[in-house]
Amino acid sequence: MKAFLKPLVAAVAFAAAASAQADITIGISLPLTGPASGLGIPMGNYIKLWPTSIAGQPLKVTVLDDATDPTKGVTNAKKFVTEDKVDIIMGSAATPVAIAMAETAAESGTPQFMFSPAVLPAGKDHWAFRLPQGNAVMAHAMIEHMKKQGVKTVGFLGYTDAYGESWLNDFKAQSQLLGGPQIVATERFARSDTSVTGQALKLVAANPDAMLIVASGSGAAMPEKGVVERGYKGKIYQTHAAATRDLMRIGGKDVEGTFVVSGPAVIPEQLPSEHPSKALATDFVAKYEKVYGAGNRNQFAAHAYDTIVVLEKVVPVALQKGKPGTKEFRAALRDAMETMGRTVVSHGVLNYTKDNHWGFTTETGVILKVVNGDWKVE
């Protein structure tokens, strides 16, 4: 009997000690495989560099792969809520997965840090906060630049998916607000298309002052080459999903002179010294490239960096209301996000409010120009 009691007592004592320590538990679901793995892998890389504690509380971080699959994302979220009893759910970096996870987060009353600019129906984002920039603030920076360049008409060539659609709507709305250029032709394509000849012919025939191409990563070069091949000579703009070196790697000479809107985190060296994010962006690039090699900076990894900046601000506030692992703590975290005020991060300035869970102010968008196969801040 005694031999049996001893380990039992030890186990109980251990369990009690563990709960007294009150770890902040974070469950993260990332697309480490599948089509969006190009986004998830760099984020996972930076999460490995996270500090082990925040505001004196140890961090307990679990990262699960959702394979860019909404069903798996929901399974992960449910596991976080029921088994791990997490204080914060994070992810996913893939928009459809992030949207699917939001339901579970909201039902359980757990704050969700979305790593993608996911659009939720009105009133459904009570518990969700986006870390990446929404398309509206990026469109804002782009339209301001177009106005300076004297662009009056724009041809739109975008993905047939949610990303393309959301850019079209946000660009139209922002342009109306700012008195910017008109969209005179709208054409769509899919990432898997082998040619955009038809679309390009129609767009070039409309002869707009500038062409806006909405595509992501290495998929962004093919449509641009298609438009240039059909003899388009005007300005070409690309969105922040195309702000990777894949654009130049695949596009080569044809993408020279392209304007790309981007977050400031990936080009700290060229930011003017008065830019609010200069210091943090420099810090992020130094930390990331020290481990993963020079030139490997990545805008998605920077969102993981910004997450810690935000946590350091909201966790101390929430700790006054409750202990990690409790319902009160989770609710307090959510409230603290809405009231944290202007917070400078590596990607710009965040300022969540009760009605705005997108956070970024218009200080985030930077226009880059492709010059001799490299980025140059405009």
Partner 1 sequence: MDFSIASILTLDGVTNGAIYALLALATVLVFAVTRVIFIPQGEFVAYGALTLALLQLGQLPGTVWLLLALALLAALLDAVAGLKRGLGAGAVGRAAVKALVFPLVVVGFAVWAAPRQLPLVVQSLLTLVIVTPLGPLVYRIAYEKLADATVLVLLIVSVGTHFALTGLGLVFFGAEGFRNPSFWDARFSAGPLTLSGQTLIIFLVSIALIVALYLFFERTLRGKALRATAVNRLGARLMGISTSGAGKLSFALAAFIGALSGLLIGPTTTMFYDSGFLIGLKGFVAAIFGALASYPAAALGAVFVGLIESFGSFWASAFKEVIVFTLIIPVLLWRSFQHGHHDDEE
Q: Tell whether residue 234 is a contact of partner 1 (CB under 8 A).
A: no
Instruction: Spell out the residues 6+ positions from residue 132 whose beta carbon is closer than 8 angstroms to its own.
Output: 114, 115, 116, 117, 263, 300, 303, 347
Measured distance CA(59)–CA(65) in Å, rounded: 19
Task: Kindly state the smallest distance separating residue 225's Cβ from partner 1, in Å.
Answer: 8
Q: Decide whether 214 or 314 has the Cβ nearer to partner 1.
A: 214
Q: Decide whether 255 or 318 has the Cβ nearer to partner 1.
A: 255
| Interface residue with partner 1, options 33, 57, 270, 361 (CB under 8 A) | 33
Applying CB under 8 A, the span of 42-50, 108-116, 181-189, 361-369 interacting with partner 1 comes to 181-189
Q: Phi and psi of 185, rounded to 5°?
A: -150, 135
Q: Tell whether residue 172 is a contact of partner 1 (CB under 8 A).
A: no
| Interface residue with partner 1, options 74, 151, 222, 315 (CB under 8 A) | 222
Task: Kindly state the smallest distance separating residue 35's Cβ from partner 1, in Å.
Answer: 6
Q: Decide whether 87 or 187 has the Cβ nearer to partner 1.
A: 187
Cα-to-chain-centroid distance, residue 189? 23
Q: What is each CA distance from 4 to 13, 14, 314, in whole angstroms?
A: 15, 16, 45
Applying CB under 8 A, the span of 97-105, 127-135, 189-197, 265-273 interacting with partner 1 comes to 189-197
Task: Kindly state the smallest distance separating residue 284's Cβ from partner 1, in Å.
Answer: 22
Q: Tell whether residue 242 is a contact of partner 1 (CB under 8 A).
A: no
- The DSSP annotation for 62-96 comes to EEEE-TT-HHHHHHHHHHIIIII--SEEEE-SSHH
Residue numbers 138-167 binding partner 1 by CB under 8 A? 160
Q: Tell whether residue 207 is a contact of partner 1 (CB under 8 A).
A: no
Applying CB under 8 A, the span of 32-40, 83-91, 175-183, 286-294 interacting with partner 1 comes to 32-40
Applying CB under 8 A, the span of 53-61, 100-108, 196-204, 290-298 interacting with partner 1 comes to 196-204
Task: Kindly state the smallest distance separating residue 212's Cβ from partner 1, in Å.
Answer: 15
Q: What is the amino acid identity at position 238?
A: Q
Pick the closest to residue 215 from 267, 251, 176 (CA basis). 251
Q: Decide whether 156 or 352 has the Cβ nearer to partner 1.
A: 156
Task: Kindly state the smallest distance separating residue 188's Cβ from partner 1, in Å.
Answer: 4
Measured distance CA(320)–CA(311) in Å, rounded: 14
Q: Tell whether residue 296 is a contact of partner 1 (CB under 8 A).
A: no
Helices (H), strands (E): how many in the chain? 12, 15
Instruction: Spell out the residues 6+ positions from residue 121 whose beta carbon is closer than 8 angstroms to its own.
Output: none
Q: Tell whether residue 15 is a contact of partner 1 (CB under 8 A).
A: no
Applying CB under 8 A, the span of 173-181, 191-199, 305-313, 327-335 interacting with partner 1 comes to 191-199
Q: Decide whether 252 or 341 has the Cβ nearer to partner 1.
A: 252
Cα-to-chain-centroid distance, residue 354? 20
Other CB atoms within 10 A of residue 78 CB: 14
Q: Decide whether 79 or 188 has the Cβ nearer to partner 1.
A: 188
Residue with tokens 């004592």: 13
Other CB atoms within 10 A of residue 103 CB: 14
- Number of residues this chain uses to bind partner 1 (CB under 8 A): 31
| Interface residue with partner 1, options 90, 221, 227, 248 (CB under 8 A) | 221
Q: Tell whether residue 45 is a contact of partner 1 (CB under 8 A).
A: no
Task: Kindly state the smallest distance separating residue 85's Cβ from partner 1, in Å.
Answer: 33
Provide the 3-class DSSP secondary structure of residue 193.
Answer: coil
Pick the closest to residue 149 from 254, 262, 234, 275 (CA basis). 234
DSSP E strand boundaries for the chain: 24-30, 53-54, 57-65, 88-91, 112-114, 128-130, 153-159, 182-189, 210-214, 235-238, 259-262, 343-345, 348-350, 366-371, 374-377
Q: Tell whether residue 170 is a contact of partner 1 (CB under 8 A).
A: no
Q: Decide whether 54 or 266 has the Cβ nearer to partner 1.
A: 266
Contacts with partner 1 by CB under 8 A lie at 33-38, 160, 187-199, 201-202, 205, 217-219, 221-222, 230, 246, 250
